[in-house]
């Protein structure tokens, strides 16, 4: 998602997406431990996506 799109989401939507991404990350890591996944870079991309969403949430909390 683009930075502009993140700013349009509400705080609740951001928190929900972070929770969903964390669940997805947990499942990917577990799958990767059982047997190597086809594209292990998905884990890194997902981790960075979670960081972007968390950064936006933190920025909003400090602005309030």
Alpha-carbon span 33 to 36, nearest angstrom: 7
Q: What is the pLDDT of residues 21-63, one digit of tens each?
A: 999 999 999 999 999 999 999 999 999 999 999 999 999 999 8
Residue 56 lies in a domain: yes
Residue 27 lies in domain: 10-63
Position 2 scores a pLDDT of 66
Position 14 scores a pLDDT of 95
Question: What's the structural domain count of the chain?
Answer: 1
Q: Which residues contact 63 (CB under 8 A, 6 or more apart)?
A: none
Residue 2 lies in a domain: no
* CB 21, CB 60: distance < 8 Å: no
Does the pLDDT at position 6 exceed 90?
A: no
């Amino acid at each position: 998602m683009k930075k502009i799109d993140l700013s349009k989401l509400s705080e609740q939507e951001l928190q929900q997406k972070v929770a969903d991404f964390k669940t997805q990350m947990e499942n990917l890591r577990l799958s990767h431990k059982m047997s190597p996944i086809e594209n292990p870079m998905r884990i890194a991309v997902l981790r960075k996506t979670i960081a972007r969403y968390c950064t936006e949430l933190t920025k909003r909390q400090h602005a309030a």
